[in-house]
Amino acid sequence: MTVSAWLKTRAVELGAALCTAAVLIAGLAIGVPFLRARIPETFLYSFCCVSAVVLRAALDLAVRGVALGVRSLRSPIAVAARLKPSRA
């Protein structure tokens, strides 16, 4: 996956989470009865929606960084193992 595709995917996820949070908080603001009965849960869910997307992106980025680092360390070792000593 390219960097731009990864960024677009994470932007869509973040936009959806922010939209969900906005709808919940707007529902509170206009006084939807079942949301007003659960004000703390509504704010907690709104916060968790957004923070879960940010945490997932951070973990995904960390795993990709470690994988890239391992791949870059493994590459010279594999090349060195394939080299044959000269018989000169």
Domain boundaries, the chain: 3-82
pLDDT band at 81 (very low <50, low <70, confident <90, very high): low
Give CA–CA dist 65/62, Å, rounded. Answer: 5
State pTM to two decimals.
0.71
| 54 pLDDT more than 90 | yes
The whole-number average pLDDT for the span 56-69 is 91
- Per-residue model confidence as pLDDT tens digits over 9-31: 999 999 999 999 999 999 999 99
pLDDT of residue 56: 94
